[in-house]
Amino acid sequence: MKYIGMPLGMWALFAGSFRRQLTVVFGYDAAAAKEIMKRAKPQYRKLIAKLPAFEKADRFQMNIVNCAMLGAFICSMPERPDVERLTVYYADAMMTKPMKWFCRKSGKKKFTETDIAGMQATAALKAADRNPYSWNMEYYAYPDGSGYEARFTQCGICTLMKELGLYDLTPALCHLDYTMAEAGETADFVREYTLASGGPYCDCGYRRKTR
């Protein structure tokens, strides 16, 4: 994957937030946080370079780029974080004002014909059959019309986190699904399983919020 483009843009958007939350969540002083960020940037570029190019129709490139950024910061920390604090760190680092705006904008499109058609197209693509850092999913509409479930049987984040020796920390990334759905304001996120916790699949359920 080329660094120039989305990966560079994501670093520009989020690296400062990732650095600030090192102090807020983990208690590193400003000098230590700056040093961690300095180490993380070349790590991030190295990880991006090893990833294959994503197909144009693959909607999950941003997910793996975010995972690479978090992995680079973890690998640059002097101490390995625990999953509980990492969950808070990742959510707070990602949920910047622009990201909250993006979630609200996406939330307004939730359950529209365009949204559902996009989910069905993603299910048909099965991108992980050709790219181990992407995702395969199935789409299920709820019979009562209250929403739908995206059920993932292959996960690019799991692949990359295993390669980094960080697989036990993967639930910290999984939890962001709840945070982003809440920020979207139109759907309640429901889940029973994740691959990272040993489940048969990752279920991402979205139910319309009732007023």
Q: In this predicted model, what pLDDT tens digit does every residue of 52-99 receive, in sequence order?
A: 999 999 999 999 999 999 999 999 999 999 999 999 999 999 999 999
CA gap 115, 7 in Å, rounded: 25
Q: In this predicted model, what pLDDT tens digit does every residue of 131-153 receive, in sequence order?
A: 999 999 999 999 999 999 999 99
The DSSP bridge partners found for residue 139 are 150
- Please state the φ and ψ torsions of residue 149, each to the nearest 5 degrees: -125, 135
With cut-offs at 50, 70 and 90, classify the pLDDT of residue 14: very high
CA gap 138, 80 in Å, rounded: 34
Whether the predicted pLDDT of 44 surpasses 90: yes
Q: Which tokens hold the place of 196?
A: 């990272």
Helix (H, G, I), strand (E, B) or coil at 77: coil
Q: In this predicted model, what pLDDT tens digit does every residue of 87-139 receive, in sequence order?
A: 999 999 999 999 999 999 999 999 999 999 999 999 999 999 999 999 999 99
User: pTM of the full predicted structure?
Assistant: 0.95
First-to-last C-alpha distance (Å) of the chain: 43
